[in-house]
Structure 1
């Protein structure tokens, strides 16, 4: 018999799936109507104005086949709606399957169907279905962030690994998981705070604890002492209790496209590609940087002129601020920005560092209300316009459009071994740090995001970061 939390979680899943299917029906109907309307407007191409009776019936059948195909390929799976590409892939695979089935039936049965109608339907339909999933993902993640559609999790494993899981799930609230307790191996020494959540007992009492806590999910982390046979027997019992099971391998901060799951002889082998810092230095990325920075410098030249005039009229000082920063492999670079601070800003820095550190950030110095910033500078920083001269840094090869931010030499002196990994690639104008909170992030989160970028680089990720940068700049969150 299902517990109350489990019943609530399954009810939430059913609501999400029902809403998604209803939206699919609506957009498929809209796509069919639009295709029929466009077909009727092509009389100048010799298309008959008369509406065949079979066209409406064909639309209903095609929509039904399309909807069923997407369900088969997981386009409405509530488990993947929050993240990843699976839900979008399900739409595309379902669409391809529908085109194949419908095309084969029309050919084999010799059923006439308007070509303009067919083309418009399968051009407009997928776009609308993908849009529905983008909106649904946004709504579900917002609901989870606000405390709804959440699942209670019981974590099983060593306290160190559980602590990492608790920290990650607490940070990424949009995933919708709340860790309510931990179950540690019998041999694991621990105290009440070592896992970040209450340790309810050892693995010998796992099933009893599941019945007591009644979680929606039991999450097995690395460090679980269960053997393969014990784990299988536990899984049988959890099946009877209708509790979901998640297994987290002992790797983290790895992008999905670097991992391949390959079951062999009953063993779920996880193949992982090596880190990609060297790929981030290849010619393709550099060519894109040169072409894009040159084009932007040309297009934004009027903006440069207006900003330079405003800075000059503000206090009569220099327009460009030049500073030594650390580039790839620790090489010094001349970093360019529009000046947004008073002329003696560097002289006043030591005094301000004693007054405030940015929310526990012990390496980077950032003040949310820095008194050295000029009136013009506040506007420039709010919309990151002060960063525009770095396009010249990109053009001459000191920087890239996307990458970790270039650090000051004194900041690099405070780096630990992990943080030095940030210097493996060219620094960037924007990066994961900028699109994930900017100066609102702690130093640990900044390093984590930069290391993820370095190790998991891909050209598509660069494009997505550039798109997200526009949204982050317009929102101005964390910009100071």
Structure 2
């Protein structure tokens, strides 16, 4: 669910408050450690507290609010139930606890005798953080539910448009939003003049005019906006007359020209920057870590299928269909592409649609089948990730001839993002999917719901899929 700028700003304020509460929790935990040890009958230690594990502060304080946001802790604050609050908190703190626990485990050689103190501080701090965050959340919810906004404190609004459009607009706005408004006039754009709007703006000290005027001429709306502009009143223009099923409307500038942008792909953000950094750094580290497997695959291919290169390049469709050369370890006989039509005629196609797939493709030599089963054949695609043609996570790139055979233009929307080495269907079911429509549906669902956390989730799910060869050919 998207949020408006005012709500986004409120969420950021709450995240800063919660980051402060996490810091306070860890400080209290460090201070309470020794008294609690004494109550438990243990001798006090000279081991230092939080100053010996400042890494916890650098991880817990900024990332806890982000994990809370991932679990939608800051959404629907006024109507959220206590059970939802507890569930979201427990999930977020469990994730942070596991992350900090793993870091603490790796940091054990560095901390030495202070390792036990670190675990105790983390345990106490988690409990205090849960209590403080829960109290803050419930207190805010209680305040919002019981707040009675006096008319003098409400935002003074004019709704402009035809009577039918205004009625339809009001019926779609949540009661929680309407409670903060004092609608001083419902301005009929067809029957009343712009001069009348000037008068109403001045008479009622209006703060904002919302135009729900899809059937009103642009010339009349432009003059009404000019009236708002001259008096410094915000003008909000409903774009519901543009019917979109997927694209999200935003505003941007081309030079000095304002533009309404309808975007159906992830918008430029810090999350996309983090995805790009994860791709480049992660791919480089994986290339280094898997280098022995590269040598193993190269030698095995050369011995099992001599006479052709160990690497196999193929033209694939990248973002928006732009061709690029994708690399794999060769797992088929040297003339595999020339034999494709013959294989289709003799063995058919197990995948519906333009994509060819055969579980037991006779062009694959035995060692190549092993490389495919353990996904070693995909490793050279890490080079494509480093060069920016691919991502670690994204829709799988298809050969150009398969893209050209798309029967539905909607299928091309899977090309609107950078292709990836792994994706939702590979991580979950991998090659068990036999319907191209289902494949596309999962890719489009990934695009429409993309987040940095979703990429991390898919990467984590890919690990057991690769290790245990789930559904691999």
Normalising by structure 2, what TM-score? 0.48
